[in-house]
Structure 1
Amino acid sequence: MPPPRQPAAASRPRALVIDHAWRGLGPGLEPLSGPGGAPLTRTVKLIVLPLIVRPALRPGLAADFLAPAQAAQLEALVRESGARLAATARWFTLLKKARRALGVVAGNPQDLYFQRCFELATEHGAPSAGADAVARAVVGEVADADGGRTVEALREHLADAGRRARIDAELAVAWESRTTVPSSGVATGLALAAEALDACGGGPGDSPAYVALVGAGHGARFGRALWARASGVWGAEGPPGPLGLTAHRVPPRPAAGHGASTATLPAPLDRTLCERLFVVLQSSARRAELPAVPELVARETGRSCAPLGLYDESLRVAVLLGGRLAVGLDPLGTGGSGPEPTAAHRAVNGRWRREASVLRARRMTVSPRPDPDGGALEALARDLRTPWAAYMRRLWVRLHGRDVHGAPLADLASAWAVLDGVARSVMMDHRAKVRSALRTRPVADAEPAEPRSA
């Protein structure tokens, strides 16, 4: 199958159109913007796209690249929403103040309040007399909707030593009952994965390879192979076998745990039950849809001992597809020992190599000049030589969240949307780190600014 069709020269990346229109709105949007003035990723994801652009009602604005007419329409929509967005920013500041006053600490405020603030701005305009009471009521309503499904409730549930001992015993039994398969048994799955990835980006629908992967349980087979031997299973010799999913030769038996911190989270398959569910409860905006904490923990006990730490086979297959994609990620264009590139590889690598931050990192790999900021940019350049770890870590977390919420991937188009979305997320995160490093770089040593790209 030919690679995904490239955009016409006159087309503009939708993300760039939104960024340009946003910056033209002027001051007052700081609570919804990053340090450089661009809209936060969550602002785009939770407000701009679903509430302003509304691609489901405007299919012409759903593409990643927009023709001039569609780009102008998108810019007009953002401009027309300027006053409402400024009011949204003020409501968000007010809700955060109310949150502190009420002692609410669970959840990410952006996930919890961004859309509610846009609703308040639509209904009331900018905050005025009585807005403090409205803000406190909204914060209380959101907290009550969690129904005790909070990080604090999870920690309290696992703080009981007797309960932890019982959970650890259940984990030991489940872990010992596993079955493993030799890594040679995944060759068929890897071949089908390559075929499925070569069909990605070609439009909606499914593929026979994806159907075969899910139907024959190749995701579960692959996870069982990792239990037997984590190296030599991805079809490439360069990247380490686990691709960042575990720091060990094979994934260790999970434990119950009783604490978690974003700053110290281990690799996905090395996490305790507490750490796995901590991420779900910390980031989910749909906690009200989850079961109560005791049942959540009980389900995670079995899930953590399932192949790849996931129950749903379509999500396991997405890990297999993601791993096959990850070993061929090559942002710097240096080549490598990965498998033959597929359409998915060409789409992701092509987008990544156009990034200004990647072009800079490519120069740094051959530049004899020392890095005056103590190596921050050099470290970011090294990240581009081993992109699979960040990609697989983020992919697994996203798939685990879907598994907890019971959201399988119905077809290849759905799987590709997740795989490609994670690649974009990692790329944007790296872009933000490079920009942050450049802002703190000594002025005398700074190089000319790079042209911005998609």
Structure 2
Amino acid sequence: MASTGTQAALPRGVLVAQAWATLGDAVAPLSNVAGRPLARTVKLILDPLVLRPVQNPDFAAGAVPIDRVDALRARITDAGPVLAATASWFLVLKGERRRRRITEGNPQDLYFQRCYELAVGHGEPGPDAAERAGEVLADVHGREGPTVAGLRSFVTDAANAGELTRLLAATWTAMHAPRPLPAGSSTADFLATCAIEPDRALFAALVRDLAGTAGAAELDRPGVALAHGLTDRDLVAPPEIGESASKRNLPKPFDRSIVERLFAPLTDAGRRAELDDVPSLVRKEIARVAGPWQLALEEGRVVLVLGREASAGLVGPVPAAGAAARLRARWDREAYVHRVLRAPSAVPAGVLADVHGVREAYLRRLWVRVHGRELRDDVITADELWDVLDGVLRSVVLDQRDRLRSVLEREAPS
């Protein structure tokens, strides 16, 4: 039996598997060969739609307090009919997908939550199931916009490959080092109140004074971008055009090829329509990689500088006030952080590295968030800034918590 503090607890993964087993063959399409829920079932259905760990924080950790064990089991078993209908809808959508010869995207990623919505709204598939499935497929796949297949075809076409390689080399060679921050531009003043009352005039001044560009002045020096967690290299190197990419193995931001930088946004079927055509995306990305912070817009560069300053408070002494103090308070509330820092020798090395490397993880996630907004021409405003900064830390925390939970579940007795 595991324990959290002084309260007895049981492994979450074991409890979920036990409750899932009671649902039987009805949920087989959502299960693995061992009869447990698929990892994507947990990530896309059970966690966000059934267990809801944000509303039930006791369900979020790797171990569940004894007095909440029955509640967790009940959430899953009570959802049994909806989960069974979800599994049935998934089979219908996969069949309709095959009939339409759709090959793009992972069906689980694309359809699991839509199947749950169908199950909640309509129960088990009825006589009109094929029609409803067709509507979902048309909504998911029928949106206009560039695709990963189109990206690969464009960059590997012999008619384009040479030109793109020459353009990338010329753009990188013409890159100029940013100048230092001008006197009078204060990121600290903006961060002091941005969570409650963002100063639009001050944010505009930071953009006008090129504070974001100036904040990238040292990123080309040995070890600086490495310390920021944006690369694994001592010196930032020019990217390649690339040909392929995988979400599971994406390098750090500054180490990604042009294809890898565009891959994740192109796999988001719900937002592809907001993107430029493939040739424009590629050429703009080639120009972007040679800019300060490898971004094109000054607003985004300012956000990176503000995020760098605010996230400095995640390690070391507790900040007194402002955005840094708020981020630190969120971080310090995490039980897994206390556990790792209190007994570092008792946790796996990877988990310890996650906690100690939170600032680097934060800056990586912030860069990805800002880069994605740029691709959609979605400029971050002063009023949105705090939500972006806070949301990035929340995302990092959820990822780390999930990895810790997975480690604990693997180590727990079955």
TM-score normalized by the length of structure 2: 0.73
Query: Percent same amino acid at aligned positions?
Result: 36
Task: Report what 1:347 is aligned to.
Answer: 326
* Structure 1 residues 193 and 341, CA gap change in structure 2 (3 angstroms): farther
Trace 1:367-382 onto structure 2 (pairs within 5 A): 367=345, 377-382=348-353
Task: Report what 1:440 is aligned to.
Answer: 410
Task: Report what 1:58 is aligned to.
Answer: none
CA distance in 1: counterparts of 2:127 and 2:239, whole angstroms: 52
CA distance in 2: counterparts of 1:35 and 1:187, whole angstroms: 53
Query: Paired residue for 2:155, among 155, 158, 164?
Result: 158
Q: Is the 8 A contact 1:326 1:388 kept in 2?
A: yes
Trace 1:252-263 onto structure 2 (pairs within 5 A): 252-263=237-248
Task: Report what 1:392 is aligned to.
Answer: 363
Q: Which of the pair is proportionally richer in helix? A: 2
Trace 1:301-316 onto structure 2 (pairs within 5 A): 301-316=286-301
Query: Paired residue for 1:215, among 191, 196, 208?
Result: 208
1:171 aligns with 2:168: yes
CA deviation profile, 1:115-160 (whole Å, cap 9, x unmatched): 755764576444212413532453245323245x211221111122
CA deviation profile, 1:155-188 (whole Å, cap 9, x unmatched): 1111224422211111122222222135xx1385
Task: Report what 2:379 is aligned to.
Answer: 408
* Structure 1 residues 222 and 116, CA gap change in structure 2 (3 angstroms): same
One-letter amino acid matched to 1:218 = A
Query: Paired residue for 2:137, among 132, 139, 144?
Result: 139
Query: Paired residue for 1:229, among 221, 227, 230?
Result: 221
Deviation at 1:208, TM superposition (A): 4.4
Deviation at 1:252, TM superposition (A): 1.7
One-letter amino acid matched to 1:258 = E
Task: Report what 1:360 is aligned to.
Answer: 339
Q: Is the 8 A contact 2:178 2:213 kept in 1?
A: no
SS of alignment partner, residue 181 of structure 2: helix
Deviation at 1:354, TM superposition (A): 2.0
CA distance in 1: counterparts of 2:131 and 2:365, whole angstroms: 38
* Structure 1 residues 134 and 255, CA gap change in structure 2 (3 angstroms): same
Which shifted more, 291-300 or 419-428?
Answer: 291-300
Tell me how many residue pairs correspond in the alignment. Answer: 363
Q: Is the 8 A contact 1:200 1:344 kept in 2?
A: yes
Deviation at 1:198, TM superposition (A): 2.0
CA distance in 2: counterparts of 1:127 and 1:177, whole angstroms: 59
CA distance in 2: counterparts of 1:34 and 1:216, whole angstroms: 53
Structure 2: tracts of 5 or more residues without a match: 1-18, 56-78
Query: Paired residue for 1:247, among 223, 229, 232?
Result: 232
Task: Report what 1:76 is aligned to.
Answer: none
Deviation at 1:301, TM superposition (A): 2.0
CA distance in 2: counterparts of 1:323 and 1:105, whole angstroms: 40
1:196 aligns with 2:193: no
Q: Is the 8 A contact 1:91 1:126 kept in 2?
A: yes
CA distance in 1: counterparts of 2:87 and 2:203, whole angstroms: 43
One-letter amino acid matched to 1:145 = R
SS of alignment partner, residue 393 of structure 2: helix
CA distance in 1: counterparts of 2:37 and 2:301, whole angstroms: 34
Q: Is the 8 A contact 1:180 1:227 kept in 2?
A: no
